[in-house]
Amino acid sequence: MNNGNEFLDFILDPNTIDFITRRSERLDVIMRRFPGIRLAETLYGRFVVGYLPRNLVDTFVRELGAGVLRTAPVVLGLMDKANLESAGITQVQEQPFLDLRGRGTIVGIVDTGIDYTNPSFIYEDGTSKILYIFDQTINDNIPEGFFEGTEYTNEQINQALQAPDPYEIVPHRDTVGHGTFLASVAAGREIGTNIGAAPDAELIVVKLRKARSYYLEKYLIPPEQENAFESTSVMIGIEYILRKATELGRPVSVCIGLGTNLGGHDGFSVFEEYLSSISNLRGLCLTAAAGNESRARHHTQGVLENTGDVQSIDIRMGENAGNVLITIINSASDRISVSIRSPTGETIGRVPAKPGSTLQSRLVLERATVIVEYFFPLEGSGGQETTVKILNATPGIWTINVFGDIVLNGTYHAWLPITGFVSPNVEFLTPTPNYTIVVPATAVGVITCGAYNSLNNSLFSDSSWGPTRLPEMSPDLTAPGVNVTGAVPFPAETGVMSGTSVAAAITAGAGALMLQWGIVEGNDLTIGTYQIKAFLIRGCSRSDNVIYPNNQWGYGRLNLIQSFNLMREF
């Protein structure tokens, strides 16, 4: 469907930005006052994707109020850095009475796309197991109900596979390989010794477009960072998969192998709320990577004991650190303000905390510029978000002094961006590995997956630790995620990857097997994410010398065959 060249041109204009918010009477009033704002997709009937000219952003934020900071998309990166047997999946595939290989189900991948020419996704007769590809980076054949991107059908993919040059018919490519790998681990066919968790499941794949330059600038992400995607694009991609699965009348298991440190890590953003809402749907399994941030030194926390207390957050900046964003979050009962001291001792005095206020100050003795922004009360949580941006950061130790203007709870958390979105020589001096679960794995309802090494049953050293700020126990479980073999784009066919995104893909494949058992085989027609999470948690393998649940392992190691064995006891 082509929804009009004029609207498409408006969306693609570099001076246009997108936002995501809940549908409300207030939004309708703003729309009438500012005709330059245009709405597009409605997701799950409640969340609206809109677009507006960049020069209206400040006015739009003032109208909605500082508390709706989270209407702005966040930017996510990739969570990657003979495992199915360890997860109890091979045993389920080979168990003659279960006979579960994903038949009749769909696995959805929202990532960097897929190499549809890889043998892992082609049947013996030369046809593809990919039902649809939704490529948000191409705008030739916009799918019905959406406003950008191109849809490629199974028929078109099959035609391409028979052509001398497949890319003349379906010009979609996965230039990164991450999406291809996750698709093969979750649902790849048996090629040699490699096999996906749900090899008979079919695929719907979304290739995400790169985040708009406005948001790369807003979050100080280097413009050359290609693997940076907006949460809006992820939500639209998931909505596409859900609509296609509904049209086909098939259950679907969706894997999210991306994450970010932007946001409150508490489940209250529009992005997290959307995922929590759809996690209640029958016939859907929603799985997310916990993140690879436990050793990154990108999180710290502290407690202000009383009103008037002051604590320091110290950040080491290496040579050529560039631009650095620090996010500080505190609860609704407290109000904090900050001052900043540079490595040369130059100080930005205490900046009064006012909702929606921004202070920008160029240092005198060095090239750096400091920007302080306050947002409160935040929609949903009522808390406060303070962002400190340091541009052209001078090497050395920077200190943010945190002042307790009003203290009842006193706890605050600070995050640097995820690995890849900030220079590797930037870190907190006193980091803590807890609370490093990335957004959106912090959403209530999704199955959050950490990673472990199936060769020695040790935790993957970078796997993020919980809990979330809700607080919610996290991760839910761990799955194999170290040196896993999977498909990669041409000219190679296989490769090795580690990370929690791999663990999430394996778990998504396990979710597809449970959907086959429940819906396709008719054993539980109401099954969805919550039930699957419960079954997987109960079946987890656990070590005798470890207390569960805990913030590293969750409830233990994925063991699907044990989940089914426990079901037979009831």
- State the CATH number of the domain containing residue 367: 2.60.120.1290
Residue 118 inside a domain? The answer is yes
C-alpha span between 495 and 178 (Å, rounded): 11
The tokens for 362 are: 């160029």
SS3 assignment, position 232: helix
Positive or negative torsion for Cα 487, 489, 493, 494: negative
pLDDT single digits (tens) 307-340: 999 999 999 999 999 999 999 999 999 999 999 9
Q: Is residue 286 within a helix (H) or strand (E), and if so which, with residue range?
A: strand 284-289
| Vertex 114 angle, CA 110 and 117, to 5° | 160
pLDDT score recorded for residue 384: 95
Last residue of a domain, one of 43, 72, 101: 72
CB contact at 8 A, 41 and 79: no
Last residue of a domain, one of 29, 44, 72: 72
90 has a pLDDT exceeding 90: no
Domain match, 136 and 277 both: yes
Q: In what order do the strands lie in the sheet with 47-53?
A: 16-22, 47-53, 38-43
pLDDT score recorded for residue 67: 53
Any idea which of 39-53, 375-389, 511-525 has the lowest mean pLDDT? 39-53
Describe the crossing of helices 178-187 and 500-515 by its angle, rounded to 10 degrees.
40
Domain match, 500 and 408 both: no
Domain match, 159 and 221 both: yes
Q: Nearest-CA neighbor of 551 among 408, 437, 392?
A: 437
1 has a pLDDT exceeding 50: no
Domain match, 391 and 507 both: no
Structural domain containing residue 245: 78-294+439-567
Domain match, 66 and 154 both: no
Q: What is the DSSP letter of 559?
A: -
Residue 218 inside a domain? The answer is yes
Q: What is the CATH number of the domain that holds 65?
A: 3.30.70
pLDDT score recorded for residue 2: 40
Output the CA–CA distances (angstroms, integers) from residue 99 to 103, 238, 257, 516, in the order listed: 9, 28, 28, 10
Domain match, 448 and 557 both: yes
pLDDT-derived band of residue 10, with 50, 70 and 90 as boundaries?
A: confident
Length of the chain: 570
* Better pLDDT: 248 or 73: 248
Domain match, 108 and 209 both: yes
pLDDT-derived band of residue 8, with 50, 70 and 90 as boundaries?
A: confident
C-alpha span between 429 and 193 (Å, rounded): 45
Ranges of beta strands (E only) in 423-546 are 426-428, 447-453, 458-459, 477-480, 484-487, 494-497
Domain match, 245 and 271 both: yes
Domain match, 289 and 141 both: yes
C-alpha span between 348 and 362 (Å, rounded): 9
Quick one: average pLDDT of 396-413? Answer: 98
Residue position matching structure tokens 């396990």: 510
69 has a pLDDT exceeding 70: no
Distance in angstroms between the alpha carbons of the first and the last residue of the chain: 49
Q: Nearest-CA neighbor of 562 among 540, 534, 532, 529?
A: 540
Q: How much of the chain exceeds pLDDT 70, in percent?
A: 96
pLDDT score recorded for residue 3: 47
How large is the greatest C-alpha to C-alpha distance in the chain, in angstroms?
74
Positive or negative torsion for Cα 126, 128, 129, 131: negative
pLDDT score recorded for residue 85: 59
pLDDT-derived band of residue 50, with 50, 70 and 90 as boundaries?
A: confident
**Rama region for 552: left / alpha / beta (φ>0; ψ in -120 to 50; rest):** alpha
Q: What is the CATH number of the domain that holds 559?
A: 3.40.50.200
pLDDT-derived band of residue 65, with 50, 70 and 90 as boundaries?
A: low
Q: Nearest-CA neighbor of 77 among 265, 230, 288, 217?
A: 230
CB contact at 8 A, 493 and 69: no
pLDDT-derived band of residue 7, with 50, 70 and 90 as boundaries?
A: confident
Question: Beta strand pairing status for 411-415 and 299-303?
Answer: antiparallel
Quick one: average pLDDT of 418-433? Answer: 96
* Better pLDDT: 44 or 568: 44
Q: Nearest-CA neighbor of 379 among 22, 8, 79, 9?
A: 22
Q: Nearest-CA neighbor of 132 among 162, 155, 163, 112?
A: 155
| Vertex 260 angle, CA 270 and 418, to 5° | 160
The tokens for 515 are: 């959907």
pLDDT score recorded for residue 33: 79
Q: What is the DSSP letter of 292?
A: S
216-240 residues labelled b (16+ CB within 10 A) or e (exposed): bebbbbeeeeebbbbbbbbbbbbbb
pLDDT single digits (tens) 95-154: 777 889 999 999 999 999 999 999 999 999 999 999 999 999 999 899 999 999 999 999
| Vertex 68 angle, CA 64 and 72, to 5° | 105
pLDDT-derived band of residue 260, with 50, 70 and 90 as boundaries?
A: very high
Domain match, 406 and 531 both: no
Last residue of a domain, one of 72, 89, 108: 72
Q: Nearest-CA neighbor of 228 among 180, 254, 260, 263?
A: 260
Residue 433 inside a domain? The answer is no
| Vertex 444 angle, CA 216 and 84, to 5° | 90
Residue 369 inside a domain? The answer is yes
- Structural domains of the chain, count: 3
Domain match, 369 and 267 both: no
Compute φ and ψ for 346, nearest 5 degrees: -70, 140
pLDDT-derived band of residue 492, with 50, 70 and 90 as boundaries?
A: confident
Residue 290 inside a domain? The answer is yes
pLDDT score recorded for residue 191: 87
Q: Nearest-CA neighbor of 392 among 376, 414, 371, 368?
A: 368
pLDDT score recorded for residue 463: 98
Q: Nearest-CA neighbor of 547 among 534, 558, 556, 537?
A: 556
106 C-beta neighbours (distance < 10 Å), count = 25
Q: Is 565 exposed, middle or buried (0-12, 13-18, 19+ CB in 10 A)?
A: middle
Residue 431 inside a domain? The answer is no
86 has a pLDDT exceeding 90: no
pLDDT single digits (tens) 449-476: 999 999 999 999 999 999 999 988 999 9
Q: Nearest-CA neighbor of 536 among 516, 555, 517, 509?
A: 555
The tokens for 119 are: 């043998």
446 C-beta neighbours (distance < 10 Å), count = 26
Residue 544 inside a domain? The answer is yes
Domain match, 152 and 204 both: yes
**Long-range contacts of residues 35-41, Cβ cutoff 8 Å, at least 24 apart:** 38/7, 38/10, 40/7, 40/11, 40/147, 41/145, 41/146, 41/147, 41/236, 41/239
The tokens for 165 are: 């040059």
C-alpha span between 302 and 282 (Å, rounded): 41
- What pTM, to 2 d.p., does this model score? 0.94
Residue 432 inside a domain? The answer is no
pLDDT-derived band of residue 82, with 50, 70 and 90 as boundaries?
A: very low
